[in-house]
Amino acid sequence: MSDTISMVTKSDQALVATPNDDALARRFADFDTFCEALDYAAQGQRGFNFHDPRGKLTRAYPFSELRSDSLKVAYALIARGVKPGERVALIAETGPDFAALFCATIYAGAWPVPLPLPTSFGGKDNYIEQLVVQLSSADPVLLIGPDEIAHLTSAAAERQACGHATWADFAAKDAPEVALPTPSPDDICYLQYSSGSTRFPHGVAVTHRSLLSNLAAHSHGMQVRDGDRCISWLPWYHDMGLVGCFLSLIANQVSADYLKTEDFARRPLAWLDLISRNEGTSISYSPTFGYDICARRISSQTNVGERFDLARWRLAGNGADMIRPDVMQSFVNAFADAGFKASAFLPSYGLAEATLAVTIMPPGEGIRVELVEEERLSGSPRDLNRPARYRAIVNCGKPVLDMKVEIRGESGKALTDHQIGKVWCQGTSVMHSYFRDPESTAECLVDGWLDTGDMGYMADGYLFIVGRAKDMIIINGKNHWPQDIEWAVEQLPGFNHGDIAAFSVETEGGEEAPAVLVHCRVSDPAKRIELRDLIRDKVRSITGMNCVVELVPPKSLPRTSSGKLSRAKAKKLYLSGEIAPLDLAA
């Protein structure tokens, strides 16, 4: 990598990416506020680098330029009347415009609120409605988004009666310089909406102190070092992308290469191409489905050793959803010839309410699993007439710096190792509150401890996550985890990760039964009936009871803005008739 930055825009000159290392001594997020973190990072040469769908560098954006632009935009926001403590909603498109506006809002003393881009699911009306609901919760004075979707964002802003602008409105940045407010560590830095925040959104209010504590904690947990570089396609409206792959890089002075999320979806192997071209060591995170897409996309005829060089991929982070050890093994099998090592996997656990990281696996330990009997997971006595069934539970690592984790039973008392219960955590990076929602805040924050809503157990200081408490299917007093049903159906031929959604429904007789929605790519009516019966038998073997199986059109199951399957929304759309099952008699 070059030791200097060359910021040029002429088409006949090549852009030069920001370096992995420079002379600026690295500080591990030991700042009082995020403004101080950016002020410091701007003294070096590291920064962000944005790439087109094929991985070609289109813009190098050193932290020094980010800071300069952010200050100018902060003056423009203040000139527009934005005051400290007010919210500014920003459509989180991966690029220099959002980066500068997000940092500028913080410099101006206001609270940036990153909101998602449109997805392919649901159409423009659903997207406008989602924005309206989140705008109603955040109550911003201004919504700013890309020029290309101004017709959507302006419609949402008009319904919420808040101001509206586009990136282009701030391009001139010619407002007069004014004195900027000086934030304190306990001031709110930003609001973060979780990826599932739609009907009842919860804006997580994160202070500067909480943010910097978590950024320091996970950089120490990952043992960030010279030569490291982040490569990411994660969306900036999700906590893993926003905090882990944007804000953290500024506070820990790490250069990054970015693909837009939608470009990764179309050309996932461009992610691995970027990693291959990094001359230093790579840190790159993905949910399980990202690894799954790459392993499936690579052709058996491709010589991966010639196309990719993944030997320097030091930390291949796993997070944001349940980690599938079988998918991770498939990725290792697919890319071992390119130098990828299974020990690079870095399982972790976190959530927006804890800013981001709660636990991280010590680097080099890779994915470790424990086989747990189904009866232990369901909380029911062992049926000796049936063979024992096991599920592989992934070790999600140890609590990060300044974070405590406890497993608590229904009585609220802490449980011992290997006992399954609710996961609670306590630390400086736990959220301040849910914005303007004291009741929901009081439900999950008790004496400084956060009820994560997840189920798991501890063993020798490591955390194992079992599933989301609210997703659990309880029938006749027995617990069934939806992912167990989904994963079992995925083992049948012709199904991919994310093709199945499981939840409970009430039958005509008033009883609860598991329901399974399955993407169907079969057109022959007789084969559809055969497939339905095959799925029903598979689920019966897992649950011991009959289930409702509905074959639905491909791509009809909804996902959250971060790409995870939304079981709650799938159930809602199914019950309302918006997801229409295929006619098996056709």
Domain ranges of the chain: 472-576
Report the range of poorest mean pLDDT among 358-362, 372-376, 562-566. Answer: 562-566
pLDDT of residue 511: 65
Q: What is the mean pLDDT of the chain?
A: 88
Look up residue 58 and give its amino acid: T
Inform me whether the pLDDT recorded for 68 exceeds 80: yes
Q: Which among 107, 114, 45, 63 has a CA at the least distance from the CA of 82?
A: 107
Is the distance from CB of 530 to CB of 538 less than 8 angstroms?
no
Residue 555 CA, chain-centre distance (Å), reads 20
**220-257: pLDDT as tens digits:** 999 999 999 999 999 999 889 999 999 999 999 999 99
Inform me whether the pLDDT recorded for 398 exceeds 70: yes
CA dist 406 and 358 (Å) reads 11
Report the range of poorest mean pLDDT among 74-83, 312-321, 427-436, 556-565. Answer: 556-565
The whole-number average pLDDT for the span 561-574 is 74
**DSSP β-ladder status, 421-427 and 433-434:** unpaired
Residue with tokens 């282009």: 168
Is the pLDDT higher at 338 or at 302? Answer: 338
pLDDT of residue 252: 98
Give Cα separations from 565 to 37, 342, 484, 496, 573 (angstroms): 35, 26, 14, 13, 13
Is the distance from CB of 47 to CB of 62 less than 8 angstroms?
yes
Report the range of poorest mean pLDDT among 2-6, 126-130, 282-286. Answer: 2-6
The whole-number average pLDDT for the span 180-187 is 97
Instruction: Count other Cβ atoms within 10 Å, centred on residue 171.
Output: 12
Radius of gyration of the chain (CA): 24
Reported as type and span, the H/E element at residue 463 is: strand 462-468
pLDDT of residue 507: 66
Report the range of poorest mean pLDDT among 112-116, 179-183, 194-198. Answer: 194-198
CA dist 338 and 313 (Å) reads 11
Both structure tokens of 45: 């040469």
Report the range of poorest mean pLDDT among 7-11, 273-277, 315-319, 427-431. Answer: 7-11
The whole-number average pLDDT for the span 270-274 is 97
Is the distance from CB of 116 to CB of 552 less than 8 angstroms?
no
Is the pLDDT higher at 183 or at 390? Answer: 183
Instruction: Count other Cβ atoms within 10 Å, centred on residue 418.
Output: 14
Both structure tokens of 305: 């050793």
Both structure tokens of 335: 């890319």
Residue with tokens 């990094």: 278
Is the pLDDT higher at 548 or at 433? Answer: 433
Record the pTM: 0.84
Inform me whether the pLDDT recorded for 317 exceeds 50: yes
State the angle between helix axes of 34-41 and 63-79 in degrees (0 to 180), rounded to the nearest 10.
130
pLDDT tier at 479, thresholds 50, 70, 90:
low
DSSP state of 577: T
Inform me whether the pLDDT recorded for 381 exceeds 80: no
User: Does the domain at residues 472-576 carry the CATH identifier 3.30.70.1230?
Assistant: no
Report the range of poorest mean pLDDT among 143-152, 246-255, 299-308, 420-429. Answer: 299-308
